[in-house]
A and B are shown apart, each in its own frame.
Chain A
Amino acid sequence: MKLKDLSPAARLAAETQAIRGEWEYSAFDQLLKDLIAYDTVMDARVAFRKKWMIVAIILAFVGLFVGILVIDNGDGEAGAAILVGGIVHMITTIVLWRKAKKQALPENALAMLQQLFRQVRQDLDTKATIRVNVDLSGPTKAKCGPKQVLPPNGFNSREQWVYADPWCQLRFQLRDGYKLTLRQVDQLIELRRTRRTSRGKYKTKTKYKKLCRLTATILPPAPVQWAGQPKVDPTWERLRVAKKKGLDVAVLDRWFLYKEKFERPKQNPSGADAVGMLYRLCSMRPAEAK
């Protein structure tokens, strides 16, 4: 599905890389479906343009040698044309590839939202809407903190960049009056290490670590005595009860960690992980509410 084929709401979301506002379940599900279809096309385009770019880089190098040979043989104009043509072609393909890459959406994030709402759709209050504030632009430069210089630890230098991306905020009401919120904050850590080899060369390695913090909250419609604590793994989960406007609000945090060596991790907690958290929070409701 191309951008022009999308509905106005989906086109706006794809162009701004954000979903905001109040949505009914059916409209939101349709929007996610459209965006996933659009992203599939964009991913194919990125893959195609990447191949095209690699071919263009190879051709530019071949053109460089051919152009120099042609210039040496006395045909300066033809040689220069081959050289310039190869370089322009290479730059064009790089620009097009980067542009397509920027337009692509994070498919795992969209899939998570779709799975989440498909599983809880029967529990939603039909009169209430889903409040959505989702940022699909990913860890951009604007979200990057200052460069951190770490102790070398045997390397020549160790530098680190931390991106903080609070990309997802959802709020919806269940049919028994309880309100649920879900928030996800991603922290991308980019670590670059440089060392000197025995031959005197400098080699740099980059590692990526993505730490996702998923926070689910349940807000009761009236003061309640929570029925008990659900199963919580203290290794990567934390449950707390906080006061808000005179109400006891139960908050469940869960951390997820993903690592990659050469590129930014694309993984994301699944919709089932999010539903699992909401499910356990809902099990804390007093018996009469269940």
Chain B
Amino acid sequence: MTCQWQTGLLVPQPCEMPAMGGCSLCGRSLCMMHTVSGPNGPACPTCANSNQGYEQNEETELESSRSSYYTQYGGANYFTNRDRQSVEREEVEGYDEFET
């Protein structure tokens, strides 16, 4: 059996590493890398984020940011009406070549 965790943020793909166990909360089979230990037994990063007492690592951080990107980028008062007018909104003809 392979790990059922989806890796990546922009291009999600199954991990496909050999599963070493499963999430004690949702039952998903997991490899060593995607298993988070905590008070309720091993868990996947999603369950670890939604339950207290689990360790935080790169995978849990990535998982929490992944869900937050879906939400609307609102709320912050970046611009006043006056500032909005000062923002240049020139129309670009076509796509300008990107040179690095």
Query: Given known contacts A169-B98, A242-B95, A244-B94, is B79 in contact with A120 (CB within 8 Å)?
Result: no
Contact A279 B69, beta carbon cutoff 8 Å: yes
Interface string of B59-100 (1 = CB under 8 A from A): 000100100110011100011000110110100101100111
- Within the complex, the shortest CB–CB distance from B46 to chain A, in Å, comes to 16
**Nearest opposing residue in chain B for A218, CB measure:** B10
Instruction: Please classify how large the interface on chain A is, using the bins under 10, 10 to 19, 20 to 34, 35 or more.
Output: 35 or more
**Nearest opposing residue in chain B for A276, CB measure:** B69
Contact A279 B74, beta carbon cutoff 8 Å: no
Q: List 28 A-B contacts (CB under 8 A).
A: A118-B58, A119-B9, A120-B9, A120-B10, A122-B62, A123-B8, A123-B9, A123-B10, A133-B99, A169-B98, A174-B10, A175-B13, A181-B98, A211-B87, A231-B72, A233-B73, A235-B78, A236-B79, A237-B73, A243-B94, A243-B95, A251-B95, A255-B78, A255-B87, A257-B83, A275-B65, A278-B10, A290-B12
**Nearest opposing residue in chain A for B59, CB measure:** A122
- Within the complex, the shortest CB–CB distance from B4 to chain A, in Å, comes to 16
Residues of A within 8 A of B (CB): 20, 118-120, 122-123, 131-133, 169-171, 174-176, 178, 180-181, 183, 211, 217, 231, 233, 235-238, 240, 242-244, 249, 251, 255-257, 272, 275-276, 278-280, 282, 290
Contacts of B10 in A (CB 8 A): 120, 123, 174, 180, 278-279, 282
- Within the complex, the shortest CB–CB distance from A39 to chain B, in Å, comes to 23
Contacts of B26 in A (CB 8 A): none
**Nearest opposing residue in chain B for A22, CB measure:** B100
